Structure 1
Amino acid sequence: MAYEVEAPKYVRLAQIIQQRIEDGTYAPGTRVPSENQLVQAFGMSRPTVVRALELLKRDGWLESRQGFGTIVRGRPAVVEHKDRRGSEVLARDESQAPGRVVEVGHVTVPARVASVLGLSKRAKVLVRRFLVEDDGEPAELVSSYFPAGLVEGTELESADPLSGGTRAHLEARKKVRFDHVTERVSARLPERGEAELLELPDGVPVLSVLVVACDASGQALQVSDVLLPADRQELEDTYRLS
């Protein structure tokens, strides 16, 4: 597609290994080729290979076992078994959700969104900004960014509330398929406009959940920055220890 930008070498290698795990070439419980073998097979440097393997370990596709090397774990299953904020963002029906669309337009891509989409810092993207309300009070601010080439032929540029959610809309209109989501949580002070929409006093920070929604190849289709007033939020997760 016109909006796709070639990913870094280590990401491309990670995607190839991921695809081989998906198609059974590298079966769960087996060892992946050694670093030397991957360097020779793909003509990439050792640092590139190491970084790709670390990325796959971080995301749960691989694991290191003492005396065995790098072992295939298979497709991570945690996302399918638990509700996540990212899936809520992708499925939110703006026409039914409590809140309102506060901005739609083309803007210069924010730096950390540019790095995820593989765009230059001067590139333009479409932003849809939705203010979620709870009993009439602002609860979260969702800024969703879309590559320009993905917008044509959709209703994303309309200021009217979008029905059915962005995922369903894009899959129907652009024939893309969303596969997985990565969420990155950080804290920062809000910009003036963000603070005004969230009705925050000066000095109150926000939690930023950066939602990166990708297709099976790892290409980012939508990036959403979800801002939550830090003084009204508590993040909790419960999981078993293996």
Structure 2
Amino acid sequence: MTYEVEPPKYLRLAQTLQRRIEDGTYAPGTRVPSENQLVQTFGMSRPTVVRALELLKRDGWLESRQGYGTTVRGRPEVVEQKDRRGRGALERDESHAAGRLIEVGHVPVPPRVASALGLPKRTEVLLRRFLVEEDGEAVELVSSYFPADLAEGTELGSGEPLGESAREHLEARKKIRFDHVVERVSARLPDAGEAVVLDLPDGVPVLSVLVVACDASGRSLQVSELLLPADRQELEDTYRLN
């Protein structure tokens, strides 16, 4: 059984403030609202607000200037340079990518994906499953899920590779805009079918990267699960020390 754990309040607030920096609501060099203002605006406790601001300072989005308060630095350079697997999944052109489309069809939504899409359990969604290969070796299995109403009137249900990314296709066909992505990384054992596709020996776990792509309102447009053989992966991050 899979349990979906909601991110803590301070992290959700930090993500909201980060999006406002990215969309220009809080421009570089300007002051962010005071702690009191943030408490009132978001209805959160002062410790939650303080922790969210400290997280953004640590990651380079904000800085404290004596006598001037907390100001916006803008998008940190290390964030621009960071490898984003979720972006790769959303922007992959299947017709030119290394690998092959191995499954397309409507399936009951998995519990973890249902939670991310805000759908009732067992609702049917459209699945596109792509196997990424390098030198003939399977290196990543990408399962992308789309609400049935969103996929209607598009080519996502076709068994042929798309000649553009799913993101580009949806934005053009449905007149929507992808705004931000939330990635959740966990580890688990693959099921029998996943182990066969990825050619994994018994007992080898996979890293699961759940990629939730949303519009500006927070509505989930697409959920992709990236499965990577754990014995062939290394995660690396870069961050500032204050």
The TM-score bracket by the shorter chain reads 0.7 to 0.9
Deviation at 1:91, TM superposition (A): 2.0
In structure 2, the gaps of 5 or more residues are 1-8
2:99 maps to amino acid: G
1:134-149 to 2 correspondences below 5 Å: 134-149=134-149
Number of residues of Structure 1 aligned to a counterpart in Structure 2: 234
What is the Cα deviation at residue 229 of structure 1? 0.8
CA deviation after TM superposition for structure 1 residue 121, in Å: 2.5
Q: Give the match's secondary structure for 2:231.
A: helix
Q: What 5-or-longer segments of structure 1 have no aligned partner?
A: 1-8
In the alignment, the residues of structure 2 paired with residue 59 and residue 106 of structure 1 have an alpha-carbon distance, to the nearest angstrom, of 43
Is the CA contact 2:213–2:222 (under 8 Å) kept in the aligned structure 1?
yes
Structure 2 counterpart of 1:156: 156
Distance 2:238 2:12 in 1: 33
Q: Is the 8 A contact 2:32 2:71 kept in 1?
A: yes
Q: 2:21·2:27 contact (CA, 8 Å) conserved in 1?
A: yes
Report the more deviating stretch, 29-38 or 148-157.
29-38
Report what 1:212 is aligned to: 212
Q: State the distance in 2 between where 1:137 and 1:202 align.
A: 17
TM-aligned CA distance change 1:66 to 1:118, over 3 Å:
farther
**Alignment deviations for residues 26-73 of structure 1 (CA, whole Å, 9 cap, x no partner):** 45455544565456556x4659x8599579849969769699886655
1:77-226 aligned at under 5 Å gives the runs 78-226=78-226
**CA displacement at 1:82 relative to structure 2:** 3.6
Distance in 1 of aligned mates of 2:125 and 2:55: 29
Q: For 1:181-209, what per-residue CA distance to the aligned partner results, in whole angstroms no more than 9, with x for missing partners?
A: 33222111001111111111111100111
Question: Retained in 2: the 8 A contact 1:60–1:75?
Answer: no
CA distance in 2, matches of 1:121, 1:65: 45
Taking the aligned partners of 1:37 and 1:154, their CA distance within structure 2 comes to 44
Deviations, residues 217-238 of structure 1 (Å, cap 9, x unaligned): 3332221111011112222334
- The range that moved more, 18-27 or 99-108, is 18-27
Shift of 1:74: 4.3
Alpha carbons of structure 1 residues 87 and 27: separation in structure 2 relative to 1, 3 Å: closer
The question of whether the paired residues in 2 share the 8 Å contact of 1:59 and 1:76 is answered with no
Q: Structure 1 vs Structure 2: percent identity of aligned residues?
A: 70
Moved over 4 A (4+): 9-42, 44-47, 49-79
CA distance 1:158–1:24, change in 2 (3 Å): closer
Q: TM-score, normalised by structure 1?
A: 0.75
SS in 2 for 1:102: strand
CA distance in 1, matches of 2:60, 2:171: 26
Which amino acid is the alignment partner of residue 175 of structure 2?
K
Task: Please state how far the C-alpha of 1:148 moved relative to its aligned partner.
Answer: 1.9
Rounded to whole Å, the distance in 1 between the matches of 2:148 and 2:53 is 31
Q: In terms of mean alpha carbon deviation, does 170-179 or 155-164 score higher?
A: 170-179
Task: Give the match for residue 6 of structure 2.
Answer: none
The alignment yields a C-alpha RMSD, in angstroms, of 3.8
Residues 19/154 of structure 1: CA separation in 2 closer, same or farther (3 Å cut): same
Tell me by how many angstroms 1:171 deviates.
1.5
Query: TM-score under structure 2 normalisation?
Result: 0.75
Closer/same/farther in 2, CA of residues 196 and 217 from structure 1, 3 Å limit: same
Larger mean Cα displacement after TM superposition, 172-181 or 75-84: 75-84
Cα drift, residue 141 of structure 1: 0.5
Cα distance change on mapping 1:72 and 1:217 into 2, 3 Å: farther
Aligned to 2:5: none
- In 1, Cα distance between equivalents of 2:19 and 2:230: 38
- 1:170 is paired with a residue of what secondary structure? helix
Paired letter, 1:86: G
